[in-house]
Structure 1
Amino acid sequence: MQRRSFLKNTLFGTGALALATGTGATVNTFSQAKGQPFHLDYAPHDGMFATSGGKDFIDQIRYMYDLGFRSIEDNGMAGRSVEQQTKIGETLAKLGMRMGVFVVPKGGNGANTLAAKKKEHVDIFLEGCRKSVEVAKRCNAKWVTVVPGDFDKSLPLAIQTANVVEALRRGAEILEPHGIVMVLEPLSDTPDLFLRYSTQTYEICKAVNSPSCKILYDAYHLQKNEGNLIKNLEMCWDEIPYIQVGDNPGRKEPTTGEVNYKNVFKFLYEKGYKGIIGMEHGMSKQGKEGEERLVQAYREVDSFV
């Protein structure tokens, strides 16, 4: 009985020590990593660190840098004032950070679909491309998001696809001389959307045949629409310069849903991916606690090496 009690107590003590040591090691790893750049280039957006970094986006950018992030993205950049766009660009340049995607103004939506081949819709899209060139110059952006809009169910699918390709070629002609890349984003928001799958987007990019027309692979939307993330990334790899993430279900930070982002990021790292990974998702907790949880989650899934 004495031996059994000794073993029980010893094992309990050893287990507790191991647990404490393991937990301590994890905490120390996060603590030591704080402020160090991540293995991949994750890009937060405006508001993610408003509690700790301040409500001003410029202050948030500086705070993001201190946390180890080296890029941002801002879907609504085109809607900011010229002064704001310029100041953001200058701040990023000073910190050595990159600007991720912003959305082309009216670059395609339910009311402005490129699949219908309506002149007024195409003209709106092309004007958005022209405006995007000026915005990109101010904030040092290279990538702009385009969504071709909804299906036009009065037309055969092949005709709609040809219409989209034709419009995108015209957009690429505007962007290409400036080294700007429109990245087409397949979405899951509604089944009415024309662009929904990575392989469909790959086919369109090949048909447009321009360095200024590529794929924005948003793993949140594509997990919902098709799954098989790593395999589809592999198949479409040569047309993917930009990636966004969000866990599913819920569209919150990695580790809150079903996607094994540590494995996905490990795949990207081993493929030599040097692009931006946009953090286009919400947060599972609010305020300072949520911001700390967000950083911890990215440190966790970034620990693949």
Structure 2
Amino acid sequence: MLRRTFVKNLSAAAGVAALGGLSRVTAAPPKNTFKLRYAPHLGMFDNLGGKDLYKQIEFMADQGFRALEDNGMTGRPAEEQTKMGDLLNKLGMEMGVFVLHKGGNGANTLAAGKKEHLDIFLKGCQNAIEVAKRCRTKYTTVVPGDFQRNLPMGIQTGNVIDALRRGAEMLEPHGLIMVLEPLSDTPDLYLRTSDQTYEICRAVNSPSCKILFDIYHMQKNEGHIIPHIDWAWNEIGYFQMGDNPGRNEPGSGEINYQNIFKHIYKKMKATNRDFIFGMEHGISVGGAEGEKKLIEAYKWADNFTV
């Protein structure tokens, strides 16, 4: 069974240490602190942190951010991936998700059940293992692709489950988790709600297949955010956010992020779990002032009492 295999392979190497046997160092405390591990993207602090990506990461650490996201990590040279991972480790930060390119994201669809699409996905999984070792992460984003109008929904779901089981078998020995992201970008996408994703994760039955719960997308597709988080809790492996409308920083739209973060924080403490929260959004104001506003938005959203 996949879950037993996972436990066996990781019993001697806790968590992300299984990715190349890397150990973490303890960095000096940041100037600011947050209760939750928010993860900015490179480019969010071009004005305050400078254009150099390593200086940006250092700036993020100084502001109290304890993680980083980089969707395009697979497109970076191997030496750059390694250097970024080493710097994050030195600063006491963690690498969050990168998108598993070459594997079911836009170029193909797992719902179709075609061998050529499965082959692309599995090749992407193999590549993701090597990328994850270099940049020191255990998360990669997977999007199964488009809905197939010529197939019944149950058949599509079976095709997706079969493909993800194959991927999970590859990822488990390396401690790498593919987080499935339901999206609101277009109704042509197969995966759209958290309960649908929950059902698939339960069927795959692997610790290497979990939900990426993007609060922005789920607000658009299903609403009722806190109950949906509770219902899907056991299969959630990662969070992302953006306010709606606009997909910008917390406080720029209708979502009460302070209440949502408070709820997640309390639930984390009660269940002994932890998450990275990817800042998968834009900034409502341009320039350095917008970047300052972004930092203040997270200070506000994180300023809850429990």
Tell me whether the two structures share a fold, i.e. TM-score over 0.5: yes
Superposition deviation, residue 299 in structure 1 = 0.3
The residue correspondences of 1:148-167 to structure 2 (distance < 5 A) are 148-167=144-163
User: Structure 2 counterpart of 1:44, which letter?
Assistant: P
Please name the residue that 1:16 is paired with.
none
Cα deviation 1:201-242 (Å, max 9, x = unaligned)? 000000000000000000000000000000000000000120
Please name the residue that 2:197 is paired with.
201
Please name the residue that 2:275 is paired with.
275
Equivalent-residue separation in structure 2 for 1:126 and 1:96 (angstroms): 32
User: Structure 2 counterpart of 1:193, which letter?
Assistant: L
Task: Say whether 1:265 aligns with 2:261.
Answer: yes
Counterpart among 78, 95, 110 of residue 99 in structure 1: 95
Equivalent-residue separation in structure 2 for 1:129 and 1:192 (angstroms): 24
8 Å Cα contact 1:110/1:193 also seen in 2: no
Alpha carbons of 1:110 and 1:60: their partners in 2 closer, same or farther (altered >3 Å)?
closer
8 Å Cα contact 1:109/1:150 also seen in 2: no
Question: SS of the residue aligned with 2:47?
Answer: helix
Counterpart among 182, 200, 225 of residue 178 in structure 2: 182
RMSD of aligned alpha carbons: 0.9
Equivalent-residue separation in structure 2 for 1:260 and 1:237 (angstroms): 19
Superposition deviation, residue 106 in structure 1 = 2.5
Which segments of 5 or more consecutive residues in structure 1 lack a partner in the other structure? 1-33
8 Å Cα contact 1:43/1:70 also seen in 2: yes
8 Å Cα contact 1:103/1:145 also seen in 2: yes
Equivalent-residue separation in structure 2 for 1:241 and 1:67 (angstroms): 25
User: Structure 2 counterpart of 1:258, which letter?
Assistant: E
Please name the residue that 1:289 is paired with.
289
User: Structure 1 counterpart of 2:296, which letter?
Assistant: Q
Question: SS of the residue aligned with 2:48?
Answer: helix
Question: SS of the residue aligned with 1:153?
Answer: coil
The residue correspondences of 1:31-70 to structure 2 (distance < 5 A) are 35-70=31-66
Q: Which has the higher contact order (CA 8 A, sep 6+)?
A: 2
Superposition deviation, residue 35 in structure 1 = 2.4
Q: TM-score, normalised by structure 2?
A: 0.88
Cα deviation 1:86-131 (Å, max 9, x = unaligned)? 1000101111110000000122234400000111111001000000
Q: TM-score, normalised by structure 1?
A: 0.88
Please name the residue that 2:132 is paired with.
136
Cα deviation 1:249-287 (Å, max 9, x = unaligned)? 000000000000000000011012521000000000111
Equivalent-residue separation in structure 1 for 2:32 and 2:214 (angstroms): 25
User: Structure 1 counterpart of 2:216, which letter?
Assistant: Y
Equivalent-residue separation in structure 1 for 2:32 and 2:293 (angstroms): 17
Please name the residue that 1:170 is paired with.
166
Task: Say whether 1:220 aligns with 2:212.
Answer: no
Question: Among the aligned pairs, what percent are the same residue?
Answer: 64
Equivalent-residue separation in structure 2 for 1:35 and 1:126 (angstroms): 42
Cα deviation 1:18-40 (Å, max 9, x = unaligned)? xxxxxxxxxxxxxxxx9222011
Cα deviation 1:41-91 (Å, max 9, x = unaligned)? 100001001111111111100000000101001000000001110100010
Please name the residue that 1:304 is paired with.
304
8 Å Cα contact 1:255/1:297 also seen in 2: yes
Please name the residue that 1:11 is paired with.
none
Question: SS of the residue aligned with 1:53?
Answer: coil
Superposition deviation, residue 152 in structure 1 = 1.2
Please name the residue that 1:19 is paired with.
none
The residue correspondences of 1:3-42 to structure 2 (distance < 5 A) are 35-42=31-38
Please name the residue that 2:249 is paired with.
253
Equivalent-residue separation in structure 2 for 1:127 and 1:296 (angstroms): 41
8 Å Cα contact 1:215/1:239 also seen in 2: yes
User: Structure 2 counterpart of 1:233, which letter?
Assistant: I
Please name the residue that 1:12 is paired with.
none
Equivalent-residue separation in structure 2 for 1:237 and 1:215 (angstroms): 9
Please name the residue that 1:237 is paired with.
233
Cα deviation 1:153-183 (Å, max 9, x = unaligned)? 1111000000000000001011010000000
Please name the residue that 1:109 is paired with.
105
Question: SS of the residue aligned with 2:255?
Answer: coil
